Structure 1
């Protein structure tokens, strides 16, 4: 249906637009009456999950059309507005169909589906941030066990990353992406059956492990397409999708969990993964990049890889600490759980605005090591400030600074990895890279849970670790800068 020239961004938009319109009518016309007239609330629960997943896919299709086709911005605004009005999707579809030729549609670039899969993987991660620790405590877990539950995903994710890195170099990314999407989508649905802290830890372990298959495979393909001298700005585009997940994930999760439940949120994300799995079967199967064209090579020691792996660990140590501490800090100050989601979205929005603006050219013009150190210092300062602040307005300002730091850090560590690898060992390198990502989250969440102290002190500990990393990177400045720029 969507092969080659027939796979047009406009038709992708129309497909998900019609699906969104139908699911909205079913939700409002069937599920809601069943809830209130027949006392069947599960109708809204399940239909709402399906509609939410379709809506996420629909929004992604609008983003793809806006970027690849470049239609007037008001069409995107109409598309988003139509999602909330019954029958409006059908009227809009008719208008778009009449003007399809005028939009000068092009064949759908396969790379954008890989970007969407990266978005899903990080949407899965970021949607967990505002709800997992509080979900664990609602099951009867102590604060200590809640920290373990948050970190368990990333602990097992480390093993999945390492295995996926080895297999990606040998078999290519397609099989790893399919396995990862299938397992993650299914496991996200199993949270609905979790009713004890012990069961939660088991689901978190398997969820993290199978989810670890996705990112190394996807990022290996993207890196192999990068052009020499533009790795920084091109990784900023990838970072924009990660940032988009950081915006949508926490806000969607925090707001929806307040109205429904944590399992509902995770089930909805899983359904979105199911849609991407179907797209992967149709579009990615048989692509040339599915098979390795270079013999797998050993991963040599390279100073740039020290910066990549160390930076990945530090950046995600900060994210793990944020996931564990911020919801508890917000709750401690008397704010609702939805505030955690919107706060976490602020840093993502800030990073995305930098990634898509002309400012991303700085990541090619300035040394990656300079960008890396700027990013770590800003993130460390933000962590320290979070432990001191008590005003909600100040919290938003701090997360803005955190977003700037993230924007400088993410492309720089990807440049380090790009410079320190070749196509024959890049999959393995990304496996280690995201293993350090996961290890950072584990120690940033579960590791801090072992320290018996107040929240302000734990934020300070996080800031000290990040600042120390920025200082230590100076010891590698000569070799890393010479060999990674």
Structure 2
């Protein structure tokens, strides 16, 4: 039991450090791309292209993880990504930045589905799954609180290029740590109602479909924020430290929700629906000018803290343990698809119509579809 706890601790440490390091680039990517001569449309293409390669990696990693194990697909991507991040600091054109970011996104796409599959092997039941996913969420939110502040400060102090070099060196260190200390463990839990997981079978599993639709909506809205908030640095002449603080506020909101472990006892699907509904209402209030961006980001963080662990828990209960890699791979691919759609569309329409309004429409449409699926699904199937 003590050995298992230590192994889980190494996983949590790795997740936290990796999340912290990678989130540092949040406030600096857009201004760095603009500095290299990228237009707003080009920046949107960069974000979308990186999500396309991320989606490709997500779809590839699931079967590989289930077949060859998880540790391999955490350590190798970390080593490769470290060198790709360092290369960011030596480029001279936005085209090269596009290529490097796309390659890096493909490599990093292997990380999160593999990590979720790895930690799911340390739980014997749904309650433990929920707790583990909540802890991962808390660690990620701590990273999201401090990383934008660190990234904004580094970008303003030592420059964007040097910040990327530091990110790469830090990832190299954690890659060595992961290689030495990460261990695999798998409790076999059979779910007779489970089905094989691939893109087509998603539509045959109501619970997975609910999770993936919610994930698409949440990540679409998140993509709009990822694009719009850093762009304030370019349009309004704000410092990267200022936009870093805005992202940190969202992290604080998520931390508030994730700290309430008793929420893990509530139905995962209902938590997801409530979180998405609250986020849509907040968007509507923001669009009408009755809510500041700062308050909205805090509420958005709360909704993220409610939805993301619930989604991960719902996935683990919908499929057999030996198919977690595929399930989380498809889930990450859906997340990437939401980011692709929002980044590309936002870059095109932002001068014509509010991206926040389109995000509200997407969220409400997905919520309606989710409600129809849930209430038209027999209770025995949902159970």
TM-score computed with the length of structure 1 as normaliser? 0.70
Distance in 2, matches of 1:453 and 1:302, equals 40
CA shift, 1:281, in A, is 2.2
| Contact map agreement 1:232 1:363 (CA 8 A) in 2 | yes
Residue equivalent to 1:93? none
Q: Which has the larger radius of gyration?
A: 1
Residue equivalent to 1:8? none
CA shift, 1:185, in A, is 1.1
CA shift, 1:362, in A, is 1.8
Q: Aligned pair 1:443/2:341, yes or no? A: yes
CA shift, 1:385, in A, is 4.7
Distance in 1, matches of 2:19 and 2:47, equals 15
Distance in 2, matches of 1:314 and 1:480, equals 24
| Contact map agreement 1:174 1:290 (CA 8 A) in 2 | no
1:430 to 313, 317, 328: 328
Instruction: Tell me which of the two structures has the higher relative contact order, counting C-alpha pairs closer than 8 angstroms and 6 or more residues apart.
Output: 2
Residue equivalent to 2:96? 199
Residue equivalent to 2:262? 361
Seen in structure 2, the aligned counterparts of structure 1 residues 354 and 390 have a Cα distance that, compared at 3 Å, is: closer
Residue equivalent to 1:49? none
CA shift, 1:381, in A, is 3.4
Q: Aligned pair 1:243/2:146, yes or no? A: no
Q: Aligned pair 1:339/2:242, yes or no? A: yes
Q: What is the correspondence of 1:64-463 to structure 2 with a 5 Å cutoff?
A: 109-230=6-127, 231-284=129-182, 287-289=183-185, 298-299=196-197, 300=201, 301-329=204-232, 331-333=234-236, 335-356=238-259, 359-364=260-265, 366-387=266-287, 389=289, 394-451=292-349, 453-454=351-352, 457-463=354-360
| Contact map agreement 2:141 2:255 (CA 8 A) in 1 | yes
Residue equivalent to 1:74? none
Distance in 2, matches of 1:216 and 1:450, equals 30
Please state whether the residue corresponding to 1:225 is helix, strand or coil: coil
Distance in 1, matches of 2:153 and 2:290, equals 22
| Contact map agreement 2:31 2:234 (CA 8 A) in 1 | no
Distance in 2, matches of 1:227 and 1:481, equals 24
Distance in 1, matches of 2:50 and 2:107, equals 10
5+ residue gaps, structure 1: 6-105
**1:366-402 Cα deviation digits (max 9, x unpaired):** 22222112211222234445555599xx332221111
Instruction: Provide the aligned length of Structure 1 versus Structure 2.
Output: 372
Tell which deviates more after alignment, 208-217 or 320-329: 320-329
| Contact map agreement 1:169 1:292 (CA 8 A) in 2 | no
CA shift, 1:237, in A, is 1.1
CA shift, 1:215, in A, is 1.1
CA shift, 1:481, in A, is 6.8
Distance in 2, matches of 1:140 and 1:390, equals 36
**1:100-140 Cα deviation digits (max 9, x unpaired):** xxxxxx99711122223333443355333322222111111
| Contact map agreement 2:210 2:374 (CA 8 A) in 1 | no
Tell which deviates more after alignment, 179-188 or 108-117: 108-117
Please state whether the residue corresponding to 1:173 is helix, strand or coil: coil
Distance in 1, matches of 2:251 and 2:52, equals 24
Please state whether the residue corresponding to 1:130 is helix, strand or coil: coil
Tell which deviates more after alignment, 439-448 or 325-334: 325-334
Tell which deviates more after alignment, 214-223 or 241-250: 241-250
**1:436-479 Cα deviation digits (max 9, x unpaired):** 1112111121232232535x611111122112222221112233
Distance in 2, matches of 1:252 and 1:388, equals 33
**1:275-317 Cα deviation digits (max 9, x unpaired):** 2211122222xx45399999xx832531111122222222221
TM-score computed with the length of structure 2 as normaliser? 0.88
CA shift, 1:202, in A, is 0.5
Seen in structure 2, the aligned counterparts of structure 1 residues 264 and 388 have a Cα distance that, compared at 3 Å, is: farther
Distance in 1, matches of 2:287 and 2:154, equals 27
**1:38-71 Cα deviation digits (max 9, x unpaired):** xxxxxxxxxxxxxxxxxxxxxxxxxxxxxxxxxx
